[in-house]
Structure 1
Amino acid sequence: MPIHNLRITQLDPNKASDRSRLVKFAFKLHKSDPYWVPPLIGDRKKFLDPAKNPSFEYLKVAYFVAEALVIPENTPKGTITGGMEQDVGTIAAVINPRHNETHNDKIGFFGLFECINSHEVADALLDAAAGWLRGQGYNGMRGPATFTMTDEVGLLVDGFNDEPRILMPYNPPYYPELVEVYGLKGVMDLYAYKWDMIAQYGGKVENLPPKLVRVMEKLKQRGNLTLRKMDMKDWDNEVEKVKIIYRAAWEANWGAVPITDHELDHYAAEMKQILDPNLVFFVEIEDKTIGMALTLPDANFVLKRMKGRLFPFGIIQALRYQNKITWARVWALGVLPEYRHLGADGVLIYETAKSAMESGYRCMEGSWILANNVEMNRLIQNLGGMLYKTYRMYEMEL
């Protein structure tokens, strides 16, 4: 669509009306996309609020919106009658000092990238983010990351014919071209794997391949591995175990940044609302917790039907559909480095898949997995996982 008078305006992260503007644009842009899952508007506003998102205790962000006079397609050439000023894109520039300290670099990030299908608009938004980061003394820009590597990262570049699972991003197919034409280059791919437990195993544990069952049982016996589900009655202690595993298991990963206690407590509180204890496993050796797998019911199935609002009708939809969720997503799986030779990660996936089938889930996603994590990618494929989506992180020099 023809646009005129394009301009970029910097918004105030601490101003509620500005944050609301960012949220409203995403709803407007994607409202006709059958695969987009609208978040709860209230939750999204909290996520963008520096006073309520614990990551903002160390992050520094700048929000930008692109505005333009948009001319309807059927407007006679040479006239602008009927055009109207409207928002046509958003972006955030993000400084993460914890990333810079960990990786000894001057990389800044962009996120919250939403844009109409226009190179002119995309270029202006990316220019704004890059210029702001450059002005802060940064020499590179990476993204999208909204806002940390534990949140929404990467652009979907393959697998557009499906809805995103819980806490995974989604974008239209034209986004990758917008950022690539601008000059951003792919720096890391992130994979999502799928287990269709109906198609592969008929949804029954007894249909798992006998060889797989023998190997997994032998690994448990040989390593003296004990698997147990999360004890919801001992929540605080269980969360502390998750913190220990999470920090140790991910610290060497590409782009990883030590997560704060406040962040982990926040994630735990959010996830507790939807957690299925049948999908959370710890693996232990003589009462020492050496690994965990945290899998979440795909609440996106419910969110899509709530259309962004809890009231007045969203709560009705939530109650109606919460017991009809058929997907689960392995959000975090990790084993302490000194115990990885025991095969505990494979056992965790195996036990999670068994429990998911027994609980009535039809499909399971494992995501995201770094492309350079060769061992984990091979393990998942050997356990029947099928690569079905690819997300990409981009980077450029400033």
Structure 2
Amino acid sequence: MDLREGDFEAFFEAPFAFYDEGSPYVSPMKSDLRRFYTPGESPLFPTAENFALFTAHRDGKTLGRIGAHVHPASNQTHGTNTAYFAYFDCADDAEAAAALLGAAEGWARKRGFDTIAGNFNLTAMQQIGVVTGGFDGVPYVDQLYGPPHIARLLRDNGYEAYFPMQTFEADLTGFNPDALLGPAQREILSSPDWSFAPVTRKDIPARLDEARELLNSGFADNPMFVPLTKEEFDFQAKELKWIIDPRITSVLHYQDKPAGIVLVIPDLNPFIRATRSRISWRTPWHFLVSRFTRDRALVIYLSVRSDLQGKGIMGAMLAKLLPTMRRAGYKRIGITWIWDENRGSLRQMERIGAKRLHRTHLFRKSLVPDEP
């Protein structure tokens, strides 16, 4: 077994070596992955000491990859001492998995961490988890996917599953918006105190500033959440101004101040798959094709300002937005992970008729030796 550290090209190419073309897995764009792991460019990684990339090889064949990194703001906010693993993709090969996980654990132990957990690609506000059910579900962009053996390999190496989550998909073709409308929602939609902010190309920078404000306010009490600085949010949202379809993102104002957001983007996975996650001279063509054929979209997040929660705002926003999406040609909508204990968000999924797409968990392992 040949274990390499720091070989970005091998790290990117790894999944293409062992996930066959029929797999639902879709790799991030190579340019995005490189940007994430460029010290100094990524706010998460000021220096190369903040992360490591490992790949496993045998007889000239790549068998797996894993990243290890630290998120200091998370440990400081939540009083933990945890390192993260990321992008754990592997063939169904026990030796390769043990080598990769051992390398990530060794990196974390050397830096004094007592726990390692993942997948965090790269923080709790990005792609997280390991798929543990619903393997036939076709993932949307920004949803993780992995075959059944990934969870088994983690368990075989002493990892425990925790923090159960679900991703969702809803059929918009038969959606009845009246199912979301009660007295509170109707009052919001008819009151002059409430208004939907314009989402046009020239307005997108202002809307994205509001998106960060609403994210930090609405998610403040959520487990694992760490408020995003403007630098961090802008880095993660760098491409959103080119991706957003202004017809399908909604920002609600109350008395001219941001109150709630449903941040939605078209599903880019068909485009990314067509490009094999690489930019080439054919990329603009694939992007144009995707724009004219897309019929799926993904909710990145839904958030209501903390002082306005529990007033029916999200139901009103969805009742207004989802029929608009349908008129724009979208037939299905995906939702990123929702924790099993988030009863409010799960009720919203019931109201829009969403069905579970994938079952996911985080996995963790103690790095503290057992006492004799």
What TM-score do you get using the length of structure 2 for normalisation? 0.91
Indicate the residue corresponding to 1:56 in structure 2: 45
The question of whether the paired residues in 1 share the 8 Å contact of 2:179 and 2:351 is answered with: no
1:239 aligns with 2:202: no
Secondary structure at the counterpart of residue 171 of structure 1: coil
Could you tell me how far 1:285 is from its partner in structure 2? 1.5
CA distance in 1 between counterparts of 2:21 and 2:169 reads: 26
Indicate the residue corresponding to 1:14 in structure 2: none
Number of equivalences: 365
Indicate the residue corresponding to 1:9 in structure 2: 4
CA distance in 1 between counterparts of 2:57 and 2:15 reads: 14
The question of whether the paired residues in 2 share the 8 Å contact of 1:93 and 1:132 is answered with: yes
Could you tell me how far 1:136 is from its partner in structure 2? 0.8
Could you tell me how far 1:360 is from its partner in structure 2? 0.8
The structure showing larger relative contact order (alpha-carbon pairs under 8 Å, at least 6 residues apart) is 2
Indicate the residue corresponding to 1:73 in structure 2: none
Shift in CA distance, 223/153, structure 1 to aligned 2, threshold 3 Å: farther
Indicate the residue corresponding to 1:334 in structure 2: 303
The question of whether the paired residues in 2 share the 8 Å contact of 1:143 and 1:393 is answered with: yes
The question of whether the paired residues in 2 share the 8 Å contact of 1:225 and 1:344 is answered with: no
Secondary structure at the counterpart of residue 353 of structure 2: coil
Query: What are the residue-to-residue correspondences of 1:186-201 with 2, within 5 Å?
Result: 186-198=161-173, 200-201=174-175
Structure 2 counterpart of 1:57, one-letter code: P
CA distance in 1 between counterparts of 2:152 and 2:95 reads: 12
1:304 aligns with 2:304: no
Structure 2 counterpart of 1:65, one-letter code: T
1:95 aligns with 2:95: no
Indicate the residue corresponding to 1:67 in structure 2: 57
Could you tell me how far 1:222 is from its partner in structure 2? 7.1
Query: What are the residue-to-residue correspondences of 1:111-126 with 2, within 5 Å?
Result: 111-126=86-101
Query: What are the residue-to-residue correspondences of 1:191-230 with 2, within 5 Å?
Result: 191-198=166-173, 200-201=174-175, 208=176, 210-213=178-181, 216-221=185-190, 224-230=193-199
Indicate the residue corresponding to 1:275 in structure 2: 244
The question of whether the paired residues in 2 share the 8 Å contact of 1:23 and 1:41 is answered with: yes
Is the deviation greater in 28-37 or in 217-226?
A: 217-226
Could you tell me how far 1:219 is from its partner in structure 2? 4.8
CA distance in 1 between counterparts of 2:110 and 2:15 reads: 27
CA distance in 2 between counterparts of 1:172 and 1:212 reads: 35
Secondary structure at the counterpart of residue 162 of structure 1: coil
Indicate the residue corresponding to 1:37 in structure 2: 26
1:146 aligns with 2:136: no
Shift in CA distance, 211/247, structure 1 to aligned 2, threshold 3 Å: closer
CA RMSD, aligned part only?
Answer: 2.1
Shift in CA distance, 259/222, structure 1 to aligned 2, threshold 3 Å: same
The question of whether the paired residues in 2 share the 8 Å contact of 1:223 and 1:342 is answered with: no
Shift in CA distance, 143/223, structure 1 to aligned 2, threshold 3 Å: farther
Query: What are the residue-to-residue correspondences of 1:373-384 with 2, within 5 Å?
Result: 373-384=342-353
The question of whether the paired residues in 2 share the 8 Å contact of 1:157 and 1:392 is answered with: yes
Structure 2 counterpart of 1:387, one-letter code: R
Indicate the residue corresponding to 1:74 in structure 2: none
Could you tell me how far 1:96 is from its partner in structure 2? 1.1
Structure 2 counterpart of 1:136, one-letter code: R
Indicate the residue corresponding to 1:172 in structure 2: 147
The question of whether the paired residues in 2 share the 8 Å contact of 1:307 and 1:314 is answered with: no
Deviations 1:56-108 (A, max 9, x none): 1388112212222xxxxxxxxxxxxxxx3332111111111111100111111
Deviations 1:118-167 (A, max 9, x none): 12221221111112211211111110112212222111112221322111
CA distance in 2 between counterparts of 1:89 and 1:209 reads: 45
Shift in CA distance, 377/45, structure 1 to aligned 2, threshold 3 Å: same
Is the deviation greater in 227-236 or in 376-385?
A: 227-236
Could you tell me how far 1:343 is from its partner in structure 2? 1.0
Secondary structure at the counterpart of residue 269 of structure 1: coil
CA distance in 2 between counterparts of 1:372 and 1:227 reads: 30
Q: Which of the residues 12, 15, 20 maps onto 1:23? A: 12
CA distance in 2 between counterparts of 1:34 and 1:327 reads: 19
The question of whether the paired residues in 2 share the 8 Å contact of 1:306 and 1:318 is answered with: no
Deviations 1:234-267 (A, max 9, x none): 3333222112111111122111112121121123
Could you tell me how far 1:223 is from its partner in structure 2? 9.9
Could you tell me how far 1:361 is from its partner in structure 2? 0.2
The question of whether the paired residues in 2 share the 8 Å contact of 1:139 and 1:397 is answered with: yes
The percent of aligned pairs where both chains have the same amino acid is 23
Deviations 1:282-337 (A, max 9, x none): 11221121111110100112221222233233332222232111101110110111
